[in-house]
Each structure stands twice: as structure tokens, then as C-alpha cells.
Amino acid sequence: MSAYGSTWGRTGTARWSESSRPSWARLAVLSAAGALAVLSGMAAAATGGARESGAATRTATPPRGGFERAFVIPIKDEINEVTLDSLERRVGEVKEARGDLIVFDLNTPGGVALTALKICTLIKNLEPIHTVAWVNPDAYSAGAIIAMACDEIVMSARSKIGDCQPIMIGPEGVSAVPQDVEAKFNSPLIEELQDSSNRRGYDMNLCLAMVRPGIELYWVENAKTGERRFVRPRERDRLFGIESAATGAGKAAEPAREESGKAASSRDVPGEFVSDEVSKTDWRYVTSAPPLTKVPQPIVGRNELLTMGQDAAIAYGFAKAKVSSEGELREFLGIRGPITRLGYTWTERVVDWLSSPMVRGVLFILMMLGAYVEFNHPGLSVPGVVALVCLVTFLGAPYLTGLAKAWEILVIICGVGLLLLELFVIPGFGITGVAGIVLILVGFVATFMPDDPGPIYRPEFNYTVSGVKTGLWVIALGLVASIAGMAVLSRLMPRAPYVRKLIPPNPTPESVAVDDVLRDVASVGDVGRSEGPLRPAGKARFGATLVDVVSDGEFIGPGERIEVIDRQGARIVVRRIRQEA
């Protein structure tokens, strides 16, 4: 559950699921009758205990005396460890400045599950600082969960919130979490939603509808008391008093919904849900709720996950108002003092950018080329420094974002140590060098792989397998590009003006040849006498000079006349001069 460990994302992103965009909005416009209905619903929920239906409770807007020091903290794009570290830094600045209001400006498709839960804990521990989630314009998945952790939610025009189902993104596309580990993935999320529901008064049935597909919800109200509830089909039938007719409209409708739901949402199937005329009690469907002029029934279909626009979020009790500018934000929250915006630092943005696979691929190529140049032309220093900087960036950026772990970096360090040991201590190249290369490659690939609930050496989930494949592709393509670059550099570097001054050209055979002091002695055709046996090497005398010679293959005894037949540098080849008969 690290980098994409229980990933919650938007469709097409490796985060919280496409069906996981939490909607949180509160009723900002309430008539007197509506307020009484809400209060009665809360009382009924409190006295009636836990019911399957749950009550559509809404907490009233707390009285505001205004805020003196307000801070806006943007949360943009993907949520990861960089986001968490940045939020901790910015929240610390607010505390030092004694701020009394933090507005989290949300525009995110989601992100890492565990990181989002840590952010929720951070926000809920900010009391007495008042926290507001400003959905501007989208808060899906992890963003929606974070929004619900705040004291209240406001939404900009044409904004959306919701869709929080944990998913996994792999080469085959989006897939649900396997059933055997679903509880492990969902339990922390549901506990967080339950806590937010208890603190802020959100309806838990709606919260669950953001996380789990297959939860069909209706919004019903009591015509006499005004109480409103979000209920499932079975509870709706009970409230409508039609259980006696279950064969036609109640229990029998459930299989029909399941069958038809395979192809379409239940609200798309005509004649599938019970009409108001069938209800035999004071309960009926809610038809309108400001600012919604028409309420669809069911409000969440069987094949849907709850995702709300700003009007639905307000009507369903998640958001309190529509706020589309800082001016409207100031007016709604009663901010008397200045509004200070605390954004991401440039270093936080750079770290996030450096963690992308494409950038890491370029860093890998530069690292390999720098190391190649430095090893082949020691003394330049610049290529070696470039290679070292690229290596540190290649590993450091994903480490800061939470993708790479300490054990992966340790594996790479061990691999480099074994490789250096093989190169400089152990003669030859054997198992130590091979083991070092394998450890380095494994460590590099592992830095692309999110944590997996299963053993680290056997990735089981799609998002983990996808990370491994991404790492393999980056490393493989990087190696190919590096080898091609090395071939080009080997030809171009000796010709480069700057490098040519630092690196002398390769010597010619003539320039490295040793001076022959016996150049005028024992030339081809000269005749001498062997001083000792030649088997085939030995000594021979030419005039007064004694030189080393080698016979052409035959044995030559001492004192025999010999003739030089070949000479290559200091190598003198001789043969016996046979006596004529």
C-alpha cells in the first residue's frame, strides 16, 4: 500500500478508483420545515440505534464570529509523500503564525491511500484551528476523503466530489481489489469515513456508496414529520409498508434489479422501482431538495459509485455552499483579516517531476554515459560528477515521494560494493561481479515498484506488476540507449576540441616502438656463428657483437655458422649454413 498500495484513484490513474470519488456537500439553503425535518431525522437516528437505512443528518452551520488570520493551502494533482511533507511544512507555518482558519484548496484526482489517511489524521488534529475543504473544482478519491476530514466543505461552480473505491491499475487496465484482500484494503478507508461521519454528520450509507459498488440508495421522506433518510431497497420497502407484496414489488424486485443491473444502472430500467402510489404509509420519495430542483431515484444506482456535483453535495448534506472565488470565500466564512496562500515550493514541484518514469529514464542514460567516459578517460572529473549526481537524483526523488524504499537503495549499494570488489580486489570476473550487477539491476527496478501486501520478491497485484514492468522498460531502454551513446562517444570524443586538449590521441606503433641499439648488427643476410646451442633460442655472435637469436625451427649446435633470414624489431631469426659437399 505504498506508492500505489491500496491505490484509490480516478479512471486511468493509478490511485483511488474510477468509482471512488467521495461526494461531500452540505445543505446551504434550508427552509424552516427542512431544518425541522433534519433535526427530527437526527433524533430518530439517535433513538432508533443503528439501522440499515441510516438517517440523512446535517449539522447546522456553526455561528461565526469571523476569522482574523486565514490561510489557503492548495492540494493539487496526485497525492503522495511529497504532498504529505509539503502539508506538514505549510501547516507548521500556519501554527507559527497563530492562524485560526485553514482552507484546503482541492483539485486532485486522488493518490496514495496510506498517504491520504495520514493527511486526514493531520487535519483532524489541527483543532482549535478551523479547517475548510474548498473543492475547486474536483476532489476525487483521496481528495474526497481528505475533504471529509475537514470541519466543513464548500464547492466551486461545476465542481465534483466522490468516487472512492480502492482499485488497482495494471497493464490490463483498471481492476477491482481481489476479494481475499479486499477487507485489508477497505477497512482503514471505511474506518476513516466512519470517523468523519460521526464528527461531521455525514450519512454513512452515502459514504459507503462512494466506496462500494452495488449499494443502491433511495432518498425518502415522511410526509408528516418531514424526516428524510437515505435507504437501501429493503429498508425502503419496509418504510413504504409493502413487505406483504414482496413477491411483486419488494423482494422479487431485488433479483430483477440484479439481472437488469448487469447491463445498465437501475435507474435506467423502466418500471423497476416502487412508485409513491404503492407506498401504504406516510413515507414517499424525495422529489426536490434545494438547490436540486429534481431528485433522481435511485440517487445511487446498483452499478454506480456516488459522485456528486456541487448541487447534489449540498442537497445530500456534504457541502455547505457554492464558493467560486476568494472574495466569496471571505464573505461566506467571515474572514476579517488577510488571506495568505501557502503554495508548493519549487523544490517540492521539482522532486515530484523528477520521479516520473521518463525523467528517470533520462537520468539513467546520463548516469551510464558519465560513468563510461570517466572510466575510459580518468582525470576529466566532470563526467564522473554528472554520473554521481544522476545516480543520487535517480534514487533520491522516488525516495522522497515514497515510491523507493531504504531497502532498495541498500541493495544497490551492496551491488556496487560487490562490483568494485570484483574489479579491484578479486582477479578475473566471476560470481562476485555477476552478483553485484544483479543486485544493482534488482534495486533499480524495485524503485519503480509500489509496496505489495505480499512478499516483495513475488509481486501479486496489477499495480505492483505494472510498476515492475515500467522499471524493466526504463532500465532496458536506458541500457540500449546508453550502449548506443557509448559507441558514438568512443568515435567523437577524440575529435572534440576541448576533450582533445585533455586526452592525448592514441599512440601509433612507430611512436611507442623501443629504439633498437643493434639496428646496424645482424641484418637480413648477415652471417655469424652460434655461441651455444639454439633450441631454438640462444646466443650468436656477429663480428664482435653478441646478440639473442632464434632458429627457424631446427636445432643448431654451438659454433655453427648461421645466417639471418628475418628480423622484426629485436627478434632475429637465423638458420644453419650447410657445408657444400
Instruction: Classify residue 425: in a domain, yes or no.
Output: no
337 and 351 assigned to the same domain = no
pLDDT by residue for the chain (581 residues), tens only, comes to 333 333 443 333 333 333 333 333 333 332 333 333 333 333 333 333 333 333 333 333 444 568 999 999 999 888 887 888 899 999 999 999 999 999 999 999 888 778 889 999 999 999 899 999 999 999 998 899 999 999 999 999 999 999 887 655 444 444 555 555 566 667 888 899 999 999 999 999 999 999 888 899 999 999 999 999 999 999 999 999 986 444 344 443 444 333 333 333 344 443 344 445 578 899 999 999 999 999 999 999 988 889 999 999 999 999 999 999 999 999 999 999 899 999 888 877 788 788 888 898 999 999 998 888 888 776 667 888 888 899 898 888 887 766 677 888 888 899 888 888 887 777 667 788 888 888 988 888 888 876 554 444 555 555 566 677 888 888 999 899 999 988 888 777 766 666 655 555 666 666 666 666 666 788 888 889 999 899 888 999 988 888 889 998 888 889 899 999 988 877 889 999 887 64
Instruction: Classify residue 124: in a domain, yes or no.
Output: yes
232 and 291 assigned to the same domain = yes
Q: How far apart are CA 533 and CA 539, in angstroms?
A: 8
123 and 96 assigned to the same domain = yes
Instruction: Classify residue 536: in a domain, yes or no.
Output: yes
289 and 316 assigned to the same domain = no
Q: How far apart are CA 7 and CA 174, in angstroms?
A: 11
Which range marks the domain in which residue 543 is found?
Answer: 518-576
Question: What element of type H or E holds 485?
Answer: helix 462-492
71 and 110 assigned to the same domain = yes
Q: How far apart are CA 103 and CA 91, in angstroms?
A: 11
Instruction: Classify residue 428: in a domain, yes or no.
Output: no
Neighbours of 391 (CB within 10 A): 20
Please count the structural domains in the chain: 4
- Beta-carbon contacts of residue 232 (< 8 Å; ≥ 6 apart): 52, 53, 205, 215, 216, 217, 218
43 and 164 assigned to the same domain = no
Instruction: Classify residue 524: in a domain, yes or no.
Output: yes
Instruction: Classify residue 424: in a domain, yes or no.
Output: no
352 and 314 assigned to the same domain = no
109's grid cell:
484526482
CA atoms within 13 A on the CB side of 74: 15
532 and 564 assigned to the same domain = yes
CATH code for the domain in which residue 103 is found: 3.90.226.10
240 and 327 assigned to the same domain = no
- Single pTM value for the model: 0.59
Question: Is residue 530 within 8 Å of 557, Cβ to Cβ?
Answer: yes
Neighbours of 181 (CB within 10 A): 14
327 and 463 assigned to the same domain = no
In 49-193, which ranges are E strands? 70-76, 101-108, 130-140, 152-155, 160-162, 167-170, 173-176
224 and 272 assigned to the same domain = yes
Question: Is residue 144 within 8 Å of 23, Cβ to Cβ?
Answer: yes
CATH code for the domain in which residue 566 is found: 2.40.50.140
Instruction: Classify residue 320: in a domain, yes or no.
Output: yes
Query: Which amino acid does the sequence have at 259?
Result: E
49 and 20 assigned to the same domain = no
